[in-house]
Structures are given as C-alpha cells and as structure tokens.
Amino acid sequence: MVHYLIEFRFHGKAKYEIKKLVYEINRKFKLRTKRAIPHITLTGPFYTIDEKRLIDDFNKLCAKNPLMNFEINGFNAFDTSKVIFLDVKPSKELEKFRWNLSKTLKPYCQLKPFDYEKEFAFHTTIAMKLPDDKFSKIRDYIKKKPKLNFKHIMVRATLLKGGLILREYDFLLRIPLVRRLAKDKKIYSQTLNLLKGHFENKFNPNEFIEERIQIQNKSFIEKLKDIFRKPRIFVTSDLHLDHANIIKYCKRPFLNIKDMNKTLIDNWNNTISNKDTVYFLGDLVYGKSSKSINYWLKQLNGKIIFIKGNHDRSNKLKFHETYILKYGGYKFFLSHEPEQVPKNWDGWAICGHHHNNNLEKYPFIDKKNKRINISTELTKFRPVDMDDLIKKIKE
C-alpha cells in the first residue's frame, strides 16, 4: 500500500548547511544508509483510501494558516530509534497547525502513534537507522561541533505520495500547487521574491495584512443574510487590474495577471453586496493593453463612488478629485494621493497611491498624522469596512 507524508522542505542557506552536514557525516562514518533530505516531518508516514478527501483537507488547513516560523537550535538524538537530528523549536502557530493536521486526518487515515499525541518532537534528521557503535560515535562527534542556528519560515507545506509531490501549498502565494507547478522554477522564484519582501517589511504583520488572503465564495445562507442586513460603507484603492509589472513592483502574491484580476474581483464581490457603497480611491486599471474602466466596473458589486487616481482615464465616467466623508463621528478627507490633503485639514485622511513601497512614511494607519493608506496590498486585497477602520483608529 502506498504511503503519504506531510512535511516541510528547507530552502536557502539552511538547506545548504544541513545538506553539507549530512554529507560530512555520511562520508566520515562511511554510512550505507540513505542520506537524509533536509526536511521536517509534520504528519506520517500514513495510509488512506480516501486521497481526494486528504487533498481537500490538506489545502483547507493550509489556507487557514498564516506564515509560520520556527528555529533550529543545536543537536539531539533519539536513543531508542538511533537517530541523530537537529532540534526544531516551533512557533505556537506551527504547533497548532501540526496538531490540527493530525486531528483532521485521524478519522480516515492510518497514522503513526506519535501523530496521535499533542506533544510532538519537531526535528530534522541528520542520520538514521544507525548501528549502535556508529550511533554513539556520531552522537559524540556532533556534540563537539558548533551548533547550527537558523530562524526559518515555513514557505511551503508538501503532501507526498510514495515519495513524490502530490500537492504543495505555498503560504506566500496562498495557493495549492500540483507537482508540475511545485517544481516550476519561475513560480518558486516569485515565492522567494515575496519572502524577500516579507523580510524587507513590505508586508507588516502589525498592520492589516501580511500576505494574500483569498476570500471564499459566499454560501447560499450568507447571500440570504446579505439581503436582510443593513447597507455598509467600504473603502479601497489601487487595484491596478491588468497591470503585470505591479506584481513585481509591489511584490503581490499572484502568479500572473489572470490570477491577480480574478482574485481581486472575487474578493471584492465576496465582500461587497449590491446594497453597499464603496469609495474607490483611484487607479482601477493600468497598462496600454488593459481593458477599460467601464469593463471592470460592470463586474464589481455595490454603488461605487470613484475618486480619480493618476492612472484613471474615462470619457464616460464621473470622477471626484477628492471627497469629504462624514462617518461614525469622524471627518475623512478622501483622495488618491496624500499630497492632495489640505495642510489645514483637521480630520483624518484616507489615501492610496503609495501601495506598500514606503511603509515607514505611509503605513496602513498613521495616528500621528491622522492618515490611512488604503492601498489594497495593505488590506488583504479587498475593500475595508469603515466600521472596522474606525475600530482600528480607536485601538
């Protein structure tokens, strides 16, 4: 019977250093066992007869989780099974993710005994299946070596079938990948570009969003509730539909224009009902080959009040240059660029234009200057409810 495994595979410097250590030990102690691949096992190996359910559950559980981190800190050994490994200190989010995997798969998968335990020894194997004499020698040798220390982010989780990739979930692109896409170097380079943006503080975890979130389609019950709820007010800015280079410039977590356009439209329509009002603060589309503003507006729910951005052009559409919105006991000056806000304005300002390219000067919420950067990169790539925005201001 074919077995399945869920794991994390290392990349970058950590992968290089761990592989170097594995090769060193294999060569020095003339090990005949298979060389360990730098990874962390999360569940398994295990068996199941319901592969479709397994794939669905794997994708759903991954989609619910944010970026998770852990730390490699020194060496250790399992005396009973004769395994030498690197100690892994997981974040609480990673611990919870691993436990949720086990609980979800338990009803229809045959797991290993340790998968049923909440306490789990996260580790990365260096050498395994060792005879007693070599186990003792390697353990003594490892103790004398300088400790390997890495802080790492779980970029992807991998579901293997018989040792081959069945699915891989990318936590930066926020999408599941089949084997062909998981091994695609262009897609992986885009993932690493997003990871670089994460460390450069392009995505700020203290703000509204640190990564792409794709909103699920509304259920029939949710659509029914929309009919009876009161209308709401939303704001958003800078979708840049059809703009290929914005993916690179702003490190947006999308594979291509098609993926970006679909996600932005779906997120909008799964957030906004036709009874809601959206104040859109400019730059809906961009590019010589882009479709017209009117083409895209017809696909978007809600009553849209359009404040003009520096890229917006239309002879059929009425634009507002700026707009004053009174809501929830506050006055808001709405404009595409912060520079359009009058110097003597004493209320809050909501603007776009700067995306996530200068978060130090233009963060999501700047309480000192009473200014909000509503660019879509900072708001889960979907419009934001004004009530939620006011709660953020009051925090």
Per-residue model confidence as pLDDT tens digits over 147-186: 888 888 899 999 999 999 999 999 988 889 999 999 999 8
Closest CA to 250 of 361, 372, 349, 381: 381
E strand intervals along the chain: 4-9, 39-48, 68-78, 83-90, 109-110, 123-127, 149-154, 156-161, 164-170, 175-177, 233-236, 277-280, 303-306, 322-327, 330-335, 348-351, 365-366, 371-373, 384-385
Q: For residue 210, what pLDDT is reported?
A: 40
Type of residue at 388? D
pLDDT under 70: residue ranges of the chain: 200-221, 223-225, 227-228
- At residue 206, the pLDDT reads 40
Tens digit of each residue's pLDDT (9 = 90 or more) over 245-269: 999 888 888 888 999 999 999 999 9
| Residue range 4-199 in CATH 2.60.40.1180 | no
Which part of the chain has CATH 3.60.21.10? 220-394
Degrees to nearest 5, angle at CA 96 with 252 and 91 = 70
Buried-exposed string 146-172: b where 16+ CB fall within 10 A, e elsewhere: eebebebbbbbbbbbbeeebbbbbbbb
Distance CA 44, CA 167 (A): 15
Confidence (pLDDT) at 217: 66
pTM over 0.75: no
Residue ranges of the chain that CATH labels 3.90.1140.10: 4-199
Specify whether domain 220-394 bears CATH 3.40.50.1970: no
- Please tell me the predicted confidence (pLDDT) of residue 214: 58
Whether 271 contacts 215, CB under 8 Å: yes
**What CA–CA distance (Å, rounded) separates 159 from 173?**
17
Give the burial class of 247: count Cβ atoms within 10 A of its Cβ; 0-12 exposed, 13-18 middle, 19 or more buried: buried
pLDDT for residue 198: 72
Q: How far is 394 from 361, CA to CA, in rounded Å?
A: 20
